[in-house]
Amino acid sequence: MPSPTVRRVGVAKIRDLLPQVDSNEFSAEIFGSAGVYVVRAAIPDDIIAPWQRAWRDFYDTELSEGRRVNRFNPVAVDEMPPAELAGIHRHPALLDIVEKVFGPDIALYNQRFVIKDRHSRGPVFFHQDFPYHTGWPFKASMFVPLSEVSPRNGGMIFYPGTHQFGYLGDAGEINPAILGPDWPTLSPNLQPGDVVLMNSLTWHGSNPHVAGPDRILADIIYQPADDPSGVALLRGNWRTEVFLDRKEPNVFLRSRVSRLSEMQREIDQLRTQQDQAKHFPG
């Protein structure tokens, strides 16, 4: 843990960066220091509008009533979107931004949607994404809003500069109080067409939805094409001769996650038995 003096110098530098991380022009240098960057009007209206229509159709027909809500991550949409939405990650305007960070050889790690609808109004705790990934930590999420986004409808909260701490040794809810009360946060208001790029090690969470439209974000994870966990080459050439088969679920025969899952199943079974015993005594 750095001394308070060293940390305070770092906080001052991060605070000075904040006005520079929101612009119509992306800066790889500023992104490298801040770990997050808002690019305004990155996607033209004539591209965003069809995506929004496709989302409304998808939501109304597939998600509105019967969405499969993940109890551990309610904001994540597990249903497969239509091709028009599933291919958002390939848009050249997004790849042009990412190329400034990763260079000309770019691969996809994952794309999904994270939403705040009637099934998932609550906040998301502060965390970093890398502990949930495979491959190397040099990854970045591009958040592409298909709705208005604000702190009132569940907008994201970022701790700029926290990617510089690296991997924290575990996955779960981070305690931001260790940063001290003066570490700056960023919770931008976004319009469809704006995007946010975030280093996968940056600490972030989201506000609860208290008012306004459902918050709809495409969450695209990009990485260099030398990472063996890539699932598709998006630009340039592959720079790895080995690939990790992420469809294989049993990389570990036993792990912390598998043990926690086993314990949760046992707890759920015991609770069910207790409930049944209360309603149907001996």
CA dist 74 and 124 (Å) reads 9
Q: Are residues 257 and 143 in the same domain?
A: no
Q: Are residues 157 and 275 in the same domain?
A: no
Q: Are residues 222 and 266 in the same domain?
A: no
Question: For 97-150, what is each residue's pLDDT tens digit?
Answer: 999 999 999 999 999 999 999 999 999 999 999 998 999 999 999 999 999 999
Tell me the residue range of the domain where 274 lies: 252-282
Given a contact cutoff of 8 angstroms between Cβ atoms, the answer to whether 148 and 190 are in contact is yes
Q: Are residues 159 and 236 in the same domain?
A: yes
Q: 157: domain CATH number?
A: 2.60.120.620
Please give the structure tokens belonging to residue 240. 């790895």
Q: Are residues 229 and 279 in the same domain?
A: no
Place of tokens 């308070």: 4
pLDDT of residue 7: 52
Q: Are residues 222 and 281 in the same domain?
A: no
CA dist 168 and 183 (Å) reads 18
Q: Are residues 62 and 122 in the same domain?
A: yes
Average pLDDT, rounded, for the chain: 91
Give whole-number Cα distances, 4 to 9, 14, 17, 153, 183, in Å. 9, 15, 20, 35, 12
- Can you say whether residue 57 is alpha, beta or left, with left for phi > 0 and alpha for psi between -120 and 50 degrees? alpha
Q: Are residues 29 and 164 in the same domain?
A: yes
Q: Are residues 137 and 205 in the same domain?
A: yes
With bands split at pLDDT 50, 70 and 90, how would you rate the model's confidence at 3?
A: very low
Q: Are residues 145 and 280 in the same domain?
A: no
Go through 89-112 and write b for each residue having 16 or more CB atoms within 10 A of its CB, e for each that does not: bebeebbebbbebbeebbbbbbbb
Residues sharing a CB contact under 8 Å with residue 114, sequence separation 6 or more, in sequence order: 75, 76, 77, 217, 219
Q: Are residues 277 and 222 in the same domain?
A: no
User: Which pTM does this prediction carry?
Assistant: 0.88
Percent of the chain topping pLDDT 70: 95
Q: How many domains does the chain have?
A: 2
Question: For 226-270, what is each residue's pLDDT tens digit?
Answer: 999 999 999 999 999 999 887 766 777 777 777 877 888 888 888
**What single-letter DSSP state applies at residue 193?**
T
Q: How far is CA 170 from the centre of its chain?
A: 17
Q: Are residues 67 and 204 in the same domain?
A: yes
Place of tokens 């390939």: 90
